[in-house]
Chains A and B, each alone.
Chain A
Amino acid sequence: MTTARDLHFTLNGEVRNATTAPGESAIDLLRERCGLTGTKLVCGAGVCGACTVLVDGVPKVSCLLPAAALEGTEVTSVEGVGPEDGLHPVQRAFMAHDALQCGFCTPGFVVEAVAWYDQWRAAYGPRRPERAEIAAALAGHLCRCGAYDGIYRAVADACAGAFDDAASERSPRHDAREKVTGAARYTVDIRYDGQWEGTILRSPHAHARVISIDVTGALALDGVTAVAMVEPGATVRYVGHAVAAVAAADARRLRAALAAIRIVWEQLPAVVGVDQATAAGAPLVYRGLRRDALNGAEGPVIPSPWKGNIRGPSQSFADKPRQARRVIADARARKDPLLVEGTFQTGAQSHTSFEPHAAVARFDADGLTLHLSTQSVGHMARKVAAVAGLPEERVRVVAEYVGGGFGSKLALGDEATAAVLLARTSGRPVRVVLSREEELSVTGYRPATRIELGLLAGDDGTLDALSVHAWADGGVAINSTIAALARLIYPAKAKDLVDYDVVSHLPPASPFRGPGGPALCFALEQGVDEAAHRLASDPIALRQRWDPEPARQRLYRWAAGLETWYSRRASGSGSGRMLRGVGVAAANWLYWYEPGMSVSLAVEKGRLVVSTGTQDMGTGSRTVLARAVAESFGITPAEVVVRIGDSSLPEGPLSGGSRTTPTIVPPTLQACAELKERLGALAPGITWAARIAAAPDIRVTATRVPDSNDGEAVSPLQGTGIMGTAFDYILRFSTGLRTGRGSPGAVIVTEVEVDTWLGHVQVTRTHAGIAVGRIRARELAHSQVAGAVIQGIGHALHEERQLDGSSGLTLTAGLEDYRIPGMAEMPLLDVHFDEEGFDHVGGGGVGMGEVSTLAVAASVANAVYNATGRRVRELPLRPDRLMTLLADVDAR
């Protein structure tokens, strides 16, 4: 039975014969041998459900299902759930409710929901299921983008019969149909003839020198290629550092090739985590000028002093810091009851994109084509050209669909380098896909932090001094900015803001949705909450006093008017097992855009085609482009052809810093205006649609220019003194990024229920007030906020990288141990958009991906305080921490 075996089964109605290898799972057979790539592999462990298929009508996880179990069965994958050429009502419901973002988890959800819908309808007819019933039915599914809110609505409405009619098909998201049918092709789905599979050999040591590295043994094998990714003499500084890569025609050869690589190591003393790194006599991670220290941020590295493994103090954003320190020291000496002080810690959060980092490299006569799961086709093309030693115009980077990124796919990853090098040495297309263990170990994370906060309110309710000292634990990466962000909100008489990085022999942190923001909010917003408590003030009223920003003033008014807010109980006044509470937190962010990026708009064979070299990792850039064009011409978005995800298109922005929308919308609108001008004035009674259909092929290209100087809005950097101006300039010249005027803002009100017996915090409802100007695609904007909220809840309650303190190994190497929130964690969600204040930006609005997540964890913490009367000092608030926090609460 341990030999290959012939299988006969029906796949989406077609009879199939296939040979299965011993021990193989069904997904490998379906994806690699049957060529149906709609079914996705994410966790490989039965936790996420992305790989779900129907076997004789029963949903099963194909990553675990023995391939042999398919014998004689009828298998249905996402490609086969709908009628021929049509859609299943569940697919229409997912599209209409925007129950997806990047789409990588969508096939699994759709397949499961289809089976459940069929059962439900057979049992009850068109009746609406309860939310809890849907959660239980979809208990075996996870979505990193956080599309749960739409999924609840989609499944409920589909069951209730709202999508039975094929005519009910509509889709706010431009590429949703491809995603609900499994047709969308991600990098992991690319397969060329003769393609080899590559894998990366990584350091088992936290700190070591490579004395020698020899891949000739592997190269000597048949059907194998190998490359070294480090030079002899190189130092590796974390477990998982890439050192070599191999590619082969099959898994057996791949294993043999890995085993044939010879490396001689000199192990060096290592420090794992902050405590070891700051102990007396700790070995140094970097020496001398530390030029080799890795930049873990999007922005440039601003010079800062080092002491041992600590970089800092970085305090350029402080404002009269000596005064702040003195005022706080005096208050401490006189035991001023209004002095709020405390230490706050947050855990390291992994991006956990559902599509792992992946690359497929192929050389041909035209040069190199690299399919890459990236947040920046344009920047990557330049970097890859250097790796491949080719001129830039001979390199094309393609990312048609990207299964999530969240900041982790901004830099050139080892998978890209390995794929390119292996394809070159082998002369074959090579695919490198990281395993979930690699993805969760070495592709970056939001650093863990420790923050010491001091905040002093004056008797008259002024903010007299604010002190934030932040230490970031980002492994070998530096340049985190946490305390500095406190300069952007709550003007105070004096601010002492200091950032430190503590480096140790752990994989590098990297930018993650609003870098630094959630940690700052967690400390600062609890500080403000506590100050309100001490002043016997309403926490929203205190923020109204301390935070003059006009958009947030409007949001505070909205929040104060929520019934749940004004009818909440006094903090800690509840009793019994279940405690309920309501909390608020606010956040401020910057608005960035990238001047010089271009969008081209063409008429091709009577259709409008908009194109730019940006990409859509689930954030909706395709939709934003289609809508901007459609609105200008009075046609439907579906009539617009959108081309993105290709570095050979006019250069577009990378997807990071919430810059995509404000960068691409203005030139798109400008291109629309120019095209209309070229097409000439409309004759009476003629529509643009008719005019375009009859037009010859033409093309216009417009470029993002700096914002106008109209309007009142100011940049949050204004008033931050010389450093703010300097920062703006450095950013402009090092990254091309411009800091715009206006403050994207958020006010989040959270309701929680705390089970004091079982150690559980449930966020029951979130009210998110978001101020980012005009909203262009309302359903997608709602989805973005929903995703930001659930990721914030993950940070607050569940997610944390766990390490082995002696080896530096990442222990949360699968989705079972790295807990992202699921359906049942998603609260009821109300989103309120404040749409004023960005009229100086073409299109009137800016990005919201980051600002929506910053204050979520802080508002959960404030809600827990309101429920329990206990301050949350450490995130995530796991059951063990909650039980400790409540140790002295009598809950009988």
Chain B
Amino acid sequence: MSGAHKRGAEWRAGGTDLSERLRSGVSDTFAGELTPAPGMLDIVPWGDGLRVGAMVPIQQLADDPRVKAGYAALAGAAGGLATPQVRAMATVAGNLTQRTRCWYYRHPHTSCLKKGGEVCPARDGNHLLGVLFDQGPCVAPHPSTLGAALLAYEATIETTLGRTLTVEEVFGDGRDGSRDHQLAEGELISALLLAPPGASERATYRRATGRHFAEWPLVELVVRLGVSEGRVTLARVVAGGVANTPLRLRAAEDALQGHSLNAATIARAAQAALESARPLPMTAYKGPLLQGLLRDQLDRLASG
């Protein structure tokens, strides 16, 4: 699968991202069709956790009974993204490595940081769908829903260069505006590794969208919660659609950790969720949406 390819050459897996760019002319980086190596199409036990092959279709991840039982928010995220047809084709690894959906990037007649340009035209231009947490030069949110869920589950990513990366390492800190992931040239994902879930934890995934379906979310949120004797013992809150990378909202997690899940705690967590927000002129609305999602899910989790 390697060979002499031009820089940025892309192998095609499900094609749900790359095919569109090839048709519109945004990308001319086609390297070839990715053919599955052994293990790339299966979900298998990995210790007490799971090993998800890179080319497992997203729908298969959503439907897998072990994923549904142990990683409810991951199954929910997988089943809640895109459309049935796309989920049947798209691979889990492609979801992490898909390119941004920014309308400047996707337009065949513009230049931008991610297309080798010098500036992000959305920053001073139209960034209605842009980030709420301004981390770097590019203002487009990261599109990967699975990335947010995997971050919440602290999954690791195994690559063909023999590296095992954390989700943070795959996406970086958002300050590199020229790319959507930090894999090396020619490096491919071979599997996602899921550590065993916590005992009696519960988790949810929800999104806020304009239209109901066939949408990337304006804001999406994964909440993982362990509660023991009325107190929160585990809290993971990860937002998508709001930053250059899926974003862990640690302040919100801290506001939950060790407290009982009542209205006051929920209000404090909602407050804390926006602590480090740095909205752009057109994106302040994502703040209340993020808080709405958090309240919605915590209410749900609190009421059992």
Q: Residues on A close to B: CB < 8 A?
A: 1-2, 22-23, 25, 44-49, 52, 58-61, 63-66, 68-69, 112, 135-137, 139-140, 142, 204, 239, 435, 437, 756-760, 797-798, 802-807, 809, 811-814, 816-817, 819, 821-825, 878-881, 883-884, 887
Contact = CB atoms under 8 A, between A and B. Distances in A.
A135 B211 CA distance: 13
A813 B103 contact: yes
Given A68-B33, A813-B107, A58 B20 contact: no
A48 B125 CA distance: 28
B136 interface: no
Contacts of A757: 288, 291-293, 295-296
A46 B83 contact: yes
Interface stretch (B11-19, B197-205, B253-261): B11-19
Given A2-B31, A61-B86, A66-B15, A140 B285 contact: no
Given A59-B85, A64-B16, A437 B108 contact: yes
A46 B86 contact: yes
A822 B82 CA distance: 13
A806 B215 CA distance: 27
23 contacts: A2-B30, A2-B31, A22-B30, A25-B19, A47-B214, A63-B20, A64-B89, A66-B19, A68-B33, A757-B291, A758-B293, A760-B209, A804-B121, A811-B126, A814-B106, A816-B214, A817-B103, A819-B210, A824-B213, A825-B211, A879-B210, A883-B285, A883-B288
B12 A66 contact: yes
Contacts of A807: 110
A597 to B, nearest CB: 40
A1 B1 CA distance: 9
Lowest 7 A-B CB distances belong to which pairs? A140-B83, A1-B32, A757-B292, A824-B212, A139-B213, A880-B285, A23-B30
Contacts of B84: 59, 112, 136-137, 139-140
Given A49-B83, A759-B289, A803-B126, A204 B212 contact: no
A69 B84 CA distance: 18
B161 interface: no
B82 A46 contact: yes
Contacts of A137: 84
B216 A44 contact: no
B85 A60 contact: yes
A759 B88 contact: no
Nearest to B84: A140
Interface residues of B, number: 54
B95 to A, nearest CB: 13
B109 interface: yes
Nearest to B294: A757
A758 B214 contact: no
B258 to A, nearest CB: 24
A521 B286 CA distance: 30
A607 B82 CA distance: 50
B292 A758 contact: yes
B288 A759 contact: yes
Contact of A821 (B83, B211, B293): B211
B101 interface: yes
B24 interface: yes
B208 interface: yes
Contacts of A813: 103, 106-107
Contacts of A1: 31-33
B152 to A, nearest CB: 20
Contacts of A140: 82-86, 213-214
Contacts of A142: 214
Contact of A759 (B30, B124, B208): B208
A474 B109 CA distance: 22
A758 B289 contact: yes
A750 B129 CA distance: 29
Given A59-B85, A65-B19, A879-B208, A816 B128 contact: no
Contacts of A49: 83, 85
A822 B85 contact: no
A60 B208 contact: no
A46 B85 contact: yes
B286 to A, nearest CB: 8
Interface in B71-114: 82-86, 88-89, 101, 103-104, 106-110
A720 to B, nearest CB: 40
A65 B289 contact: no
B23 interface: yes
B218 interface: yes
B19 A63 contact: yes
B289 to A, nearest CB: 6
A204 B109 contact: yes
Contacts of A814: 106
B22 interface: yes
Contact of A64 (B19, B108, B125, B210): B19
A288 B217 CA distance: 48
A477 B189 CA distance: 51
Contacts of A798: 210-211
Contact of A69 (B15, B23, B209, B288): B15
A221 to B, nearest CB: 19
A25 to B, nearest CB: 5
B129 to A, nearest CB: 8
Contacts of B101: 816
Interface in B190-246: 208-216, 218
Given A140-B83, A817-B106, 12 more contacts: A44-B20, A64-B14, A64-B86, A66-B33, A135-B213, A797-B210, A798-B211, A804-B125, A811-B103, A819-B211, A824-B213, A879-B289
A275 to B, nearest CB: 14
A65 B211 CA distance: 24
A332 to B, nearest CB: 33
Contacts of B129: 817
B15 A64 contact: yes
A60 B82 CA distance: 13
B32 A2 contact: yes
A112 B12 CA distance: 25
Contact of B214 (A63, A68, A759, A822): A822
Contacts of A139: 83-84, 212-214
Contacts of A758: 208, 289, 292-293, 296
Given A25-B15, A25-B19, A823 B107 contact: no
A58 B85 CA distance: 8
Contacts of A59: 84-85, 88
B99 to A, nearest CB: 13
Contacts of B289: 758-759, 879, 883
Contacts of A437: 24, 107-108
Interface in B160-202: none
A437 B86 CA distance: 21
Contacts of B212: 135, 139, 822, 824-825
Nearest to B19: A64
A64 B86 CA distance: 9
Contact of A804 (B104, B210, B285): B104
Contacts of B208: 758-760, 879
Contact of B126 (A2, A64, A66, A804): A804
Contacts of B216: 816
B211 A812 contact: no
B126 to A, nearest CB: 6
B83 A65 contact: no
B15 A65 contact: yes
Contacts of B103: 802, 811-813, 817
A46 B20 contact: yes
A2 B215 CA distance: 32
Contacts of B215: 816, 819
B12 to A, nearest CB: 6
A760 B213 CA distance: 13
A811 B86 contact: no
B285 A884 contact: yes
A78 to B, nearest CB: 14
B282 to A, nearest CB: 8
